[in-house]
Amino acid sequence: MATTSYDVVIIGAGPAGYVAAIRCAQLGLKTACIDEWMGENGQPSLGGTCLNVGCIPSKALLDSSHYYHHMTHQAKDHGISVKEVAMDVAAMQKRKSKIVGMLTRGIDGLFKKKGVKRLIGTGRLLGDGKVKVMPKRGSGEAGQLLESRHIIIATGSHPISLAQAPVDGSTIVDSSGALAFGKVPQRLAVIGAGVIGLELGSVWNRLGAKVTVLEALDSFLPTVDQALAKEALQVLKRQGLDIQLDARLTGTKKTESGVQVVYQTANEQRQIEVDKLVVAVGRRAYTQGLGAEDVGLALDARGFIVTDGHWRTNLDGVYAIGDVIGGPMLAHKGSEEGVALAERIAGQAGHVNYDTIPWVIYTWPEIAWVGRTEQQLQKEGVGYRTGVFPFMAIGRARAMGEVVGKVKIIGDEKTDRILGVHIFGPHASELVSEAVMAMECDASTEDLARTIHAHPTLAEAMHEAALAVDHRAIHI
């Protein structure tokens, strides 16, 4: 069998792999990217979890459900009376699929434009710089052989399953299933009040489902600033999400109309019956079919590929990036690793600043943050000052009718350097970029306080929160 040689072979075309591939090609490296994903239409589809069943389709449905909720709940406040608001879930799903199709085909276009060779199939490590591309997973068909000095594994992650709630794809589903419901379930339970569970719960709640979210932990969003998390919990409950903490799923039983969900609280065992159950208890590294064991690729106890500070695995010339190596399971984290690694392979000094990775939870209002929380700083014994400013006192937020939430900025007690920025409020996902930029430039809260912000904008809450660090906010 003929072997084709490349400078870099990348296994996986999610946001980590496809971005790495494009950057490698930009840097003049002969690059191939192998991906096995099959889209909704049964055709190969680039973009991995993020574009096919993650970031993008979830935001498409979040936006559709947001508009619906606005029409039915907020339009009146703006003096708009809508006689009849009809929901067409099939049309929403069609719109979602169209967006996914456009973006995934867009990556194919980018590969062609930038000179990345796209290979469809499953990539398997053979050792000594060799990779086999199997046209169909498990088919046993003869594949292509590739050789390369550099192999990047970017095979991503899959949802974690629970033995007590086996996913059947119709009544009990994972996040992918919850993005594909053909109609609004009347009663929906979500296991896990994490980033994904809250997003999906919000979509179906806004469209009219009665949503119960069961969370095993007794605290809500423990990695989020706890004052903001507490406020978010109240707001989400007011929106109708029945979020129950200290509620661990212990079993499920199919019924005629849906599924009975049994869970344990601190004091008692409870049960509810729902039409659909979503299991959203996190994601695990995906290395199946990669041949990791055969070539001795080191994985940690949780199945993540072990890498050093420069994304090198224990095998010579083999690297790994993205969800498959753990850390924040975020698309932009994987993409940044892809860029930095490509640059290192090309002899440059690619680097990822893990301290300035933004996090977003796409509820409404959104929760977004970068840097450390007060809880973390207290644990570390770092002295700090905080400035807090509510959206309620921001003119633009008032004009929008979006007055819930606040911005908190944390500065180092001695140096005033920004240590963390935490936002619960409208378009927090966009606002957080300013904070990331400030932290990337090692800015102080004083720098932010002296930065002119356009009026009237939501970003003025960032400005005022920075002023508040020094007790000189103007509008409160």
Q: Measuring CA to CA, which residue among 202, 197, 238, 200 is closest to residue 220?
A: 197
Residues within window 204-223 making contact with ligand AMP, judged by CB under 6 A: 214-217
Select from ligand AMP, ligand FAD, none the partner in contact with residue 407, using the beta carbon and a kind-dependent cut-off of 5 to 8 Å: none
Q: Measuring CA to CA, which residue among 134, 158, 161, 155 is closest to residue 145?
A: 134
Nearest to ligand FAD of 286, 384 (CB atom): 286
| 431 three-class SS | helix
Shortest Cβ distance from residue 157 to ligand AMP (Å)? 11
DSSP type of residue 304: P
Instruction: In whole angstroms, give the CA distance from residue 284 to residue 282.
Output: 7
| Of 181-189, 194-202, 438-446, 448-456: span binding ligand AMP (CB under 6 A) | 194-202
Q: With beta carbons less than 8 A apart as the criterion, state whether 324 and 153 touch.
A: yes
- Interface residues with ligand FAD (CB under 6 A) are 11-17, 34-37, 48-50, 53-55, 58, 122-123, 154-157, 175, 196, 286, 289-290, 322-324, 329-332, 334
DSSP string computed for 172-186? EE-HHHHT--SS--S
Catalytic, 70? Answer no
Shortest Cβ distance from residue 153 to ligand FAD (Å)? 8
Site string for ligand AMP, 29-48 (x = CB under 6 A): --------------------
| 219 three-class SS | coil
Select from ligand FAD, ligand AMP, none the partner in contact with residue 167, using the beta carbon and a kind-dependent cut-off of 5 to 8 Å: none
Nearest to ligand AMP of 289, 328 (CB atom): 328
Catalytic residue among 73, 78, 310, 455: 455
Assess 284 for contact with ligand AMP (CB under 6 A): no
Length of the chain: 476
| Of 55-63, 237-245, 278-286, 467-475: span binding ligand AMP (CB under 6 A) | 278-286
Nearest to ligand AMP of 241, 394 (CB atom): 241
Shortest Cβ distance from residue 250 to ligand AMP (Å)? 8
Helical residues (DSSP H) of 124-224, grouped into ranges: 175-178, 195-206
Select from ligand AMP, ligand FAD, none the partner in contact with residue 162, using the beta carbon and a kind-dependent cut-off of 5 to 8 Å: ligand AMP
Nearest to ligand AMP of 56, 461 (CB atom): 56
Assess 261 for contact with ligand AMP (CB under 6 A): no
Other Cβ atoms less than 10 A from the Cβ of 106: the count is 13
DSSP type of residue 111: H
Residues contacting 308, CB < 8 A, separation 6+:
none
Select from ligand AMP, ligand FAD, none the partner in contact with residue 318, using the beta carbon and a kind-dependent cut-off of 5 to 8 Å: none
Assess 249 for contact with ligand AMP (CB under 6 A): yes
Show the CA angle centred on residue 40, arms to residues 166 and 185, nearest 5°: 50
Q: Measuring CA to CA, which residue among 288, 254, 232, 75 is closest to residue 166?
A: 254
Exposed e or buried b for every residue in 238-249, given b needs 16+ CB within 10 A?
ebebebebebeb
Shortest Cβ distance from residue 188 to ligand FAD (Å)? 15
Instruction: In whole angstroms, give the CA distance from residue 321 to residue 284.
Output: 14
Select from ligand FAD, ligand AMP, none the partner in contact with residue 37, using the beta carbon and a kind-dependent cut-off of 5 to 8 Å: ligand FAD
Select from ligand FAD, ligand AMP, none the partner in contact with residue 400, using the beta carbon and a kind-dependent cut-off of 5 to 8 Å: none
Q: Measuring CA to CA, which residue among 48, 367, 346, 313 is closest to residue 194?
A: 367
Distances (CA, A) of 220 to 224, 238, 294, 391: 8, 15, 42, 22
Select from ligand FAD, ligand AMP, none the partner in contact with residue 249, using the beta carbon and a kind-dependent cut-off of 5 to 8 Å: ligand AMP
* Residues classed as catalytic: 455
Binding site for ligand AMP (CB under 6 A): 162, 191-196, 214-217, 248-249, 280-282
